[in-house]
């Protein structure tokens, strides 16, 4: 069984979540949430800065384009269905998951606009306008509220209700999504 990984071994949330954490997929998802919170803080800094940092825009863009879609799939295709299967009726998990899935659809709609604003900044084409800043502030606010709900409800219930077998399934699916299962097969064959 994989134990909780001490904080000092965890990332600084400034880089993508380390794949070592996939040993316990819930630790990986928790770390993804810390990373997302750091991304929200970077968005705030871009809004507040007189001369926004283009390097930070690049980091946020890479999160939104590459990491977030995988995270949303981890939750929607694997974690949420496992929770629906394992939770008791009195957990009322379905209501919470429906709310979170609605948030994900809103994020799907809003993310391309945020990417366009940050891509223009990163390319040195233009700085965010007042309207752009409102879009960024709203996006980070929604993301933070979503994270609070997931950390307060989804992860505690996942720890409580998912079996070792469920965690194994979740781990495998998350590895497959990142192409890591093929990597391991290759190294096994060597």
Residues 88-147 that bind Fe ion (CB under 5 A): none
Cβ neighbors of 143 (< 8 A, separation 6 or more) are 36, 39, 40, 107
Q: Please, what is the minimum distance in Å from the beta carbon of residue 75 to Fe ion?
A: 5
Please give the size of the binding site for Fe ion, defined by CB under 5 A: 2
Kindly report the length of the chain.
Answer: 190
Among 75, 30, 31, 40, which residue's Cα sits nearest to residue 60? Answer: 40
Per-residue HEC secondary structure of 126-138 comes to CCCCHHHHHHHHH
As a whole number of Å, the CA-based R_g of the chain is 18
Distances in whole angstroms, Cα of residue 44 to Cα of each of 76, 179, 188:
27, 33, 45
Verify binding: residue 38, Fe ion, rule CB under 5 A. no
Of 6-14, 46-54, 148-156, 170-178, the window that binds Fe ion (rule: CB under 5 A) is 148-156
Minimum Å gap between C-beta 34 and Fe ion is 11
Q: How far is the CB of 190 from Fe ion (least distance, A)?
A: 35
Nearer of residues 75 and 122 to Fe ion, judged by Cβ: 75
Instruction: Confirm or reject binding of residue 150 to Fe ion (CB under 5 A).
Output: yes
Look-up of token digits 């998990």: 93
User: Which residues in 71-90 contact Fe ion (CB under 5 A)?
Assistant: 75
- Of 142 and 161, CB closest to Fe ion: 142
Nearer to Fe ion, 27 or 150 (CB): 150
The H-or-E segment that residue 112 falls in is helix 93-122
- Rule CB under 5 A: which residues touch Fe ion? 75, 150
């Amino acid at each position: 069984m994989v134990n909780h990984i001490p904080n000092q071994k965890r990332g600084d949330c400034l880089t993508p979540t380390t794949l070592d954490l996939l040993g316990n997929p819930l630790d990986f998802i928790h770390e993804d949430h810390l990373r997302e919170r750091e991304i929200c803080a970077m968005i705030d800094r871009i809004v507040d800065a007189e001369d926004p940092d283009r390097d930070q825009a690049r980091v946020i863009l890479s999160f939104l384009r590459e990491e977030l879609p995988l995270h949303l799939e981890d939750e929607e295709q694997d974690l949420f269905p496992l929770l629906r299967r394992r939770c008791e009726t009195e957990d009322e998990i379905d209501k919470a998951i429906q709310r979170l899935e609605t948030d994900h659809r809103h994020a799907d709609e809003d993310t391309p606009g945020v990417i366009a604003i940050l891509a223009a900044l990163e390319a040195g084409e233009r700085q965010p306008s007042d309207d752009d800043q409102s879009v960024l502030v709203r996006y980070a606010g929604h993301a933070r509220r979503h994270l609070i709900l997931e950390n307060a409800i989804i992860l505690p219930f996942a720890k409580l209700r998912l079996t070792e077998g469920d965690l194994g399934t979740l781990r495998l699916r998350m590895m497959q999504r990142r192409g890591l299962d093929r990597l391991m097969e290759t190294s096994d064959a060597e």
